[in-house]
Amino acid sequence: MSKIITDKLDRPLRDLRISVTDKCNFRCNYCMPAEIFGPDHPFLPKNEVLTFEEIERLVGIFANLGVRKIRLTGGEPLLRKNLSKLIKNLVNIKGITDIGLTTNGIFLPKQANHLYAAGLRRLNISLDALNDDIFKRLNGRGVSSKTVLKAIEMAKDIGFDVKINMVVQKGVNDQEIIPMAKYFYENDITLRFIEFMDVGNTNGWNLEKVITKREIFHLLSSSFELEEVEPAYFGEVAKRYKYKEKNAEVGFIPSVSESFCSSCTRARISADGNLYTCLFASKGYDLKKILRNEKDDDKIKDEIISIWNHRKDRYSDERMSRPKEKKQKIEMSYIGG
Residue 102 annotated as lining a ligand binding site = yes
Phi-psi region of 188 (alpha: psi -120 to 50; beta: other; left: phi over 0): left
Residue 263 annotated as lining a ligand binding site = no
Residue 268 annotated as lining a ligand binding site = yes
C-alpha pair distances (Å), 50 with each of 10, 11, 190, 325, 335: 28, 27, 32, 33, 13
Residues 6+ apart with CB under 8 A from 319: 198, 256, 259
Please answer whether residues 294 and 300 qualify as being in contact, where contact means their C-beta atoms are separated by less than 8 angstroms: yes
Q: Which has the closest alpha carbon to 297: 20, 18, 3, 59?
A: 59
Residue 28 annotated as lining a ligand binding site = yes
Residue 30 annotated as lining a ligand binding site = yes
C-alpha pair distances (Å), 157 with each of 47, 54, 109, 301: 37, 33, 11, 40
Taking the mean position of all CA atoms in its chain, how far away is CA 131?
23
Residue 266 annotated as lining a ligand binding site = yes
Residue 60 annotated as lining a ligand binding site = no
DSSP character for 169?
B
Residue 267 annotated as lining a ligand binding site = yes
Residue 17 annotated as lining a ligand binding site = yes
Predicted pLDDT at 235: 76
| List of domains in the chain | 2-335 (3.20.20.70)
Residue 261 annotated as lining a ligand binding site = yes
Residue 197 annotated as lining a ligand binding site = yes
227, containing H or E segment: strand 226-228
Predicted pLDDT at 140: 87
Predicted pLDDT at 247: 75
Q: Which has the closest alpha carbon to 336: 272, 271, 286, 255?
A: 271
Predicted pLDDT at 1: 36
Predicted pLDDT at 292: 96
Residue 163 annotated as lining a ligand binding site = yes
One-letter amino acid of 38: G
Residues 6+ apart with CB under 8 A from 312: none
Provide the whole-model pTM.
Answer: 0.88
Predicted pLDDT at 4: 39
Q: Would you write out the chain's pLDDT as a tens digit for each of its 337 residues?
A: 334 344 589 889 999 999 999 888 886 765 655 555 556 666 789 999 999 999 999 999 999 999 999 999 988 999 999 999 999 999 999 999 999 999 999 999 999 999 999 999 999 999 999 999 999 999 988 999 999 999 999 999 999 999 999 999 999 999 999 999 999 999 999 999 999 877 655 555 577 789 999 999 999 999 999 999 998 888 788 899 998 877 779 999 988 877 777 788 999 999 999 999 988 777 899 999 999 999 999 999 999 999 999 988 765 656 655 555 566 656 666 676 5
Rg of the chain over all Cα atoms, to the nearest angstrom = 19
Predicted pLDDT at 36: 54
Residue 126 annotated as lining a ligand binding site = yes
